[in-house]
Chain A
Amino acid sequence: MLTSPALNYNLLAPILIVLGGALLGVLVEGFIGRLYRARIQLIIALLTVAVSFGWVISIRSAQSQSAAVDSVSIDGGGLFLQGTILALAFVALLFFSQNDHFAPQASALPGSPEEALAISSGQQMTEIYPLVLFAISGMLLFPVAHDLITLFVALEVLSIPLYIVTGLARRRRLLSQEAALKYFLLGAYSSAFFLFGAAFLYGFSGSLSLSAIRTAAAVSGANQIFLLLGVLFISVGLLFKVGAVPFHSWTPDVYQGAPTPVTGFMAACTKVAAFGAMFRIFIVAFSSVQNDWRPVFVAISIVTMAGGAIAVISQRDVKRSLAYSSITHAGFLLAGVVALSKAGLTSMMFYLVAYGFATIGAFGIVTLVRDSTGEVSDLNRWAGLAKKSPGVATAFALFLMSFGGIPLTAGFIAKFSIFTSAYATGNIALVIVGVISSAIALIFYLRVVLIMFFKEPTDDTVTVAVPSFLVSTGIVICFVMTLVLGVYPNLLFNLANTMTALVP
């Protein structure tokens, strides 16, 4: 006879609420007329995320390994990351309110008569909202999953909607579809690697649970070749998701091709989820063989920091360059992972928040700079932006300063703490490469500031769209967070510091 598994609905509620909101969104898409649909979808999405966030706060001190049998572990670290994902997603969704970024009808082929018809009739599908909610639910599950199957399911739930929404850009449809296909194919490969690694780990330990893998790995004298193979393949899957060198090649294309609001969401929230999961897997399951994988991760961190920084200086497209900059940041975050300490986790979580807000804000601003055909992402055409719109240019400069780690921005505190944790665990090489990469990346950030502030506007066709209320709210939130976390980091940092518990 089958017994139904015991589920702790209270602890799973944040994930379930978002899933419910997504399903509701699907129904709305089917049954509500197009006049109100966009507005209702947006309200549902925002409300869902807000309620879920509230729920996370209400269970903030919970700690349980059996929220869903043994598959999900709710603890301080996991809840902090869930809260981060939800907060970032909320702000990112504000930018989705600019409907004109998305294809009117996703199913229509680019340039086909159906598409022309959809545009001329003013049709606008809004399936993007439920898709994003599905992705968020996967992201929420990913950092709290405690066995390999759940991890894989979460990975797919977060990835597949993202493949679709990447292809939904309204303009430059072919580029967008190419990006989606690229993302999908490479993502499928990396998922396969992940699964392959999971199989090895199962073969090694006879279990899929992270705790059981740890127990098995701790037995000395066991033949660890399958364990190490498993670690290797799982790492490939995870490093792909965070865009670390040498698994980064999709990042610039996908970031460029995806609709810009989606890029912001993807860049910020996927990283939070993937780094959260990575930290949990490596500290819970693989910490006993850290001497084997740590040097590799140090090396990957170094090439990721340096590679991203070097690639970014020659970029001329804003979205591509932000993609390379995000690769550099993945390298910095990996420095927190290899620290494998409480301080490492705290600073990684703080870093994710600081980076997330600055990223969403920066991509949000990219959505505003336009000419008659849509967004302008060619950097040279941003010349003199400060003359056209001082506020927007200042905000963008602040986000860049935060990426560069200039003091009094959140990025500085984040970088400082993550380097400190790396230095304290003896990875001094990481710190040195880190500061040098920061210096190299700064060349690019400062060049953008120079272009915006000190170049005469040459292109009158480029204008800064007047942001709607929701969009300006989003930018203001990102701006304030970047500044406040830089000047007075105590509140969030202390919170992160008290929420580092990870159940074994």
Chain B
Amino acid sequence: MNLLTLTMILPLFGSLALAVAPRENTQLIKLIALATSILTLISSLLILTKYKFGQTGFQLVESHSWFKVFGTRYAVGIDGLALALILLTTVLVPIVIVGGWNEAENGRWSIKTFYMLILILETSLVAVFAATDLFLFYVIFEAMLVPVYFLIGGFGRGDRAAAALKFLLYSLFGGLLMLAAVIGIFVVSLHQGPGSFDVTTLSHLKISHNTQDWLFLGFFIAFAIKAPLFPFHTWLPGAARSATPGTSILVLGVLDKVGTYGMIRFCLTLFPDASKTFAPYIIVLSLISIIYGAFLAIGQKDLNSLIAFTSISHFGFIVLGIFAMTSQGITGATLYMVNHGFSTAGLFLVGGWMIQRRKSSQIADFGGLQRITPVMAWCFFIAGMSALALPGLSSFVSEFLVLVGTFTRYPAAAVIGTLGIVLAALYVLILVQRSLHGPLQAGNEDTPDLNWREKAAIAPVIIALVLLGFYPKPAIHIIDPATSQVMAQASISDPTPLAGK
């Protein structure tokens, strides 16, 4: 068993340990969950010692036969793209556990169930990024919806059951479309040799244009629902309003990245021609997402909905970068996935604490928090600044790369995309002004500031935001080889700079 598999199954073992732990001893349960997630983090960091930077192709590969008749395998391996997202996952889970120490208490079921579900979700998130077998990827892609469904439905707020159902139905519908496409590409591979689900083998298939288009759409719609891209985004605000902050972080910060990850890993490399055919349309959709998400965010009165709509705008940027199909665009998009994970984590964590203290998620109920709770307010401010891509914070680097990458191929799109930055400034600054500044709202007088546990949870997020903002090179160093690999597999090259002509 290699480190990758170990990282994957450690949380699963943790959840098994939780299963036999006594239900009443909640402190013990939380400690087991935290210890497991930290062990997983350490295990994932150890991967870095084995990982050969600068090398293309999958590393730490492990492959066992699974379902012989169809040639499916338990095959895992990572390249820079997968590694970046796995690290994001393993870093965020302990933060979620520490940050939301008490968030499971209003649940329908026991605290034990909550942490078991969180750990099962972590296993599936690591596995979904590590899978190099399409069948394995699909199985996890679908199966991981079940823990999220119960996390939202069982431990959320408000109309949680309906939100969970909507989330699940959207995702399953997309998943089933993808199933048809998975079967389609497998049958193509059957016609061209022994059937296989290996991602690398599949990328060498010769698929006719027409077939490519259909298969591409099957994959793309599934990923666009997950990402979520306009017009498939309508499940997201409800889910974000209803989920606990920890669940929201894992759903918006990591789970949704599976969509954009899949666009790079599967859409671009398996169907390069179809990707080129559809790229202009997808660029339009992503621009709509950017602008539409931003406008809706400006109009939101609910804190969680606002964060959800900013995410729709940010996912627009990520998709824009991917389908610009330039190396800067794809690297920027991948980096954006990581940065968005951290900035969303910051917003949801601090936002969650604010809501928990105020017992309301209406933005109008806050105000003047800066004076009462300076630490909390500053943390929220920094996370907000990262969301609007302030230079010096991490999102700036990735947003810049995406826009530069887009400009070289679609200048007009890049210009429209830049509008999104302006709008981002608007929604973040309005939010900051209404909730942190201004006169103190009645009911906020006794709000306590962050305690040591909450500070411990938010500190790594802020460090990551600043570090990746000032010194993004290590992250780009991990991602770059993967980008060039994707570009080579999809046989796309960067457009020559106009100035040279």
Contact = CB atoms under 8 A, between A and B. Distances in A.
What secondary structure prevails in chain A residues at the interface with B? helix
Contacts of B165: 446-447, 450
Nearest to A413: B67
A423 interface: yes
B153 interface: yes
A406 B142 contact: yes
B169 interface: yes
Interface stretch (A21-29, A253-261, A370-378, A488-496): A488-496
A493 B138 CA distance: 20
Nearest to B182: A416
Given A447-B165, A454-B161, A490-B68, A406 B143 contact: yes
A493 B154 CA distance: 36
Contacts of A416: 70, 179, 183
Contacts of B19: none
A450 B67 contact: no
A407 interface: yes
A423 B184 contact: yes
B184 A417 contact: no
B186 A494 contact: no
Contact of B183 (A405, A419, A489, A493): A419
B177 A450 contact: no
B187 interface: yes
Contacts, number: 89
Given A420-B186, A420-B187, A453-B154, A408 B143 contact: yes
A360 to B, nearest CB: 23
Contact of B154 (A446, A454, A494): A454
Contacts of B177: 435
B146 interface: yes
Contacts of A401: 146
Contacts of B142: 406-407, 412
Query: Which of B139, B173, B183, B184 is packed against the most chain A CB atoms within 10 Å?
Result: B183
Interface string B271-310: 0000000000000000000000000000000000000000
B413 to A, nearest CB: 32
A69 interface: no
Interface residues of A, number: 37
Contacts of A408: 139, 143
Given A407-B139, A446-B169, A420 B70 contact: yes
B19 to A, nearest CB: 13
Contacts of A405: 176
B419 interface: no
B164 interface: yes
Contacts of A419: 179-180, 183
Interface stretch (A170-178, A324-332, A436-444): A436-444
A417 B138 CA distance: 14
Contacts of B180: 419, 423, 431-432, 434-435
A290 to B, nearest CB: 20
A439 B172 contact: yes
A497 interface: yes
B105 to A, nearest CB: 18
B108 interface: yes
A455 interface: yes
A424 interface: yes
Interface in B52-111: 66-70, 108
Contacts of A455: 161
Given A407-B138, A432-B180, A493 B67 contact: yes
> Which of A404, A413, A416, A431 is most buried by chain B, counting CB atoms within 10 A of its CB?
A416
Contacts of B108: 453-454
B221 to A, nearest CB: 12
B99 to A, nearest CB: 25
B168 interface: yes
Nearest to A438: B176
Interface string A442-472: 1100110010011100000000000000000
B412 interface: no
Contact of B70 (A407, A417, A443, A450): A417
Nearest to A420: B183
Contacts of A424: 187, 190
A439 B190 CA distance: 27
Given A420-B186, A424-B187, A407 B143 contact: yes
Nearest to B176: A435
Given A412-B139, A423-B184, A493-B69, 17 more contacts: A404-B172, A406-B172, A407-B139, A407-B143, A408-B139, A417-B69, A419-B183, A424-B187, A428-B184, A442-B176, A446-B172, A450-B153, A450-B161, A454-B108, A490-B68, A493-B68, A497-B69
23 contacts: A405-B176, A406-B142, A406-B143, A406-B172, A407-B140, A407-B142, A416-B70, A419-B180, A419-B183, A420-B183, A420-B186, A423-B187, A431-B180, A434-B180, A435-B177, A439-B169, A446-B168, A446-B172, A453-B153, A454-B154, A454-B164, A489-B67, A490-B67
Interface of A: 346, 401, 404-408, 412-413, 416-417, 419-420, 423-424, 428, 431-432, 434-436, 438-439, 442-443, 446-447, 450, 453-455, 488-490, 493-494, 497
Which 3 residue pairs of A and B lie closest in terms of their CB atoms, listed nearest first? A454-B161, A407-B139, A435-B176
